[in-house]
Structure 1
Amino acid sequence: MVRRRFTGDTLVIASHNAGKVREIGDLIAPFKVRAISAGELDLPEPEETGMTFIANAELKALAAAQTANLPALADDSGMSVDALDGAPGIYSARWAGPSKDFGKAMQKVWTAVEEKGAEPPFGAQFVCALSLAWPDGHVESFEGIIQGKLVWPPRGLHGFGYDPMFQPVENNEMRTFGEMPAAEKHAISHRALAFRQLIDACFG
């Protein structure tokens, strides 16, 4: 399958989440692409009606690209917990409520796991879908998944979202994402895995 190449110098990051915008901005910086967030452009946040991460990423990327008349990159990501049949999944941000309180969201996840009576280790995955859209409606999408397990209490002050309760299992890692410096997280994260696919297909 022939992928469309990105040839511009400006890319809209279709997110109002400062943590996501920062991480994506860091990842595209080496390509000398100017990143503008949806928040800076005062773009509305579309309702996420998709039933998969990719569907929601495409919805957000297309909305931003067509409103701003610029190529746009959207991320839809979240944490899926085995004991919760994949929840919170695509609803990960919504579990944090209108105030985006991920301290409460993490407590909600842990309480739900305990109520299930599951036995440790509590397997989980972080999933990231990235969609690059153009104003003409063309879109390219990619997905990265990293395996891990839940820890309690949360550990670390780095990252954002559920990072402090997610410990990747790769290379027998003992730290949570919340305890890892940004550069180390970027090297192995679900977002980095999806981003490598995007770069190889559309930027390389």
Structure 2
Amino acid sequence: MSSSARLSHPRLVLATRNAHKVTELQAILTDAGIEPELVGADAYPDIPDVKETGVTFAENALLKAHTLAQATGVPAVADDSGLCVDVLGGAPGIFSARWAGRHGDDKANLDLLLAQLADIDAAHRGAHFACAAALALPDGTERVTEGRLRGTLRHAPSGTGGFGYDPILQPDGDTRTCAELSPEEKNAISHRGLAFRALAAEIRELLG
């Protein structure tokens, strides 16, 4: 990519309307020595949310990133993540946010999963959080990176931090759940943090 192309798109848009996620990515990029003008999807209010029709985290992340890049004309970043349980063959996976049937109902999703695993002992409760982070340029160029946080599922929720399945995943090497970690501790090991830190290198390579 030429230097003129690098300079023509100083803005980077993240496929989220969550200000916390924008701040999180900004911090990761700053740590990597990259400081584009980072905005969320709410900077383009006329763009509709993208239906996640992919069958993998990477496909969904790329779908969102490409759609946003084409609609806005600037480089776009997106991610998709979820919980993958060994004994369930990797489920809930891409259906994590709507495992109980309604998108974003964290309590219902968690309660259903715990009920499904009620008779499974600790030795077989292995699971991991997975995240795919994608960068798409308006010209179709794309990059994808992935991160995982491996752990064991508790039989009951513990902790008030985080969201989703955080109260039941105990990271390997720790005695606490993700919901009991401080934000700094969680960010240092999280699947999203790992994926986005890896993507930062790709962003630096393509955008300068």
TM-score by length of 1: 0.86
Provide the rounded CA distance (Å) in 1 between the counterparts of 2:190 and 2:85.
16
Question: Where does 1:108-123 land on structure 2 (aligned, <5 Å)?
Answer: 108-114=112-118, 117-121=119-123, 122-123=125-126
**Could you say which residue in structure 1 is the equivalent of 2:179?**
178
**Could you say which residue in structure 2 is the equivalent of 1:133?**
136
**Could you say which residue in structure 1 is the equivalent of 2:57?**
53
What's the offset of the Cα at 1:60?
Answer: 0.6
Residue 82 in structure 1 maps to residue 53 in structure 2? no
What's the offset of the Cα at 1:199?
Answer: 2.1
The one-letter amino acid of 1:106's match is L
Given that 1:57 and 1:76 are in contact with CA atoms closer than 8 Å, whether structure 2 keeps it comes out as: yes
DSSP 3-state at the match of 1:143: strand
What's the offset of the Cα at 1:181?
Answer: 1.5
Gapped regions of structure 1 (runs ≥ 5):
none
Residue 158 in structure 1 maps to residue 161 in structure 2? yes
Q: Deviations for 1:142-163, whole angstroms, at most 9, x for unmatched residues?
A: 1111211112322222222211
Provide the rounded CA distance (Å) in 2 between the counterparts of 1:16 and 1:160.
16
Provide the rounded CA distance (Å) in 1 between the counterparts of 2:109 and 2:143.
31
Greater shift, 145-154 or 65-74, is seen at 145-154
The one-letter amino acid of 2:13's match is V
Residue 33 in structure 1 maps to residue 36 in structure 2? yes
Provide the rounded CA distance (Å) in 2 between the counterparts of 1:22 and 1:93.
22
**Could you say which residue in structure 2 is the equivalent of 1:62?**
66
The one-letter amino acid of 1:67's match is A
Provide the rounded CA distance (Å) in 1 between the counterparts of 2:20 and 2:177.
17
Instruction: Give the % identical residues.
Output: 42
Change in 2 beyond 3 A, CA 1:153/1:47: same
DSSP 3-state at the match of 2:82: strand
What's the offset of the Cα at 1:9?
Answer: 3.4
Larger of the two Rg values belongs to structure: 2
TM-score by length of 2: 0.84
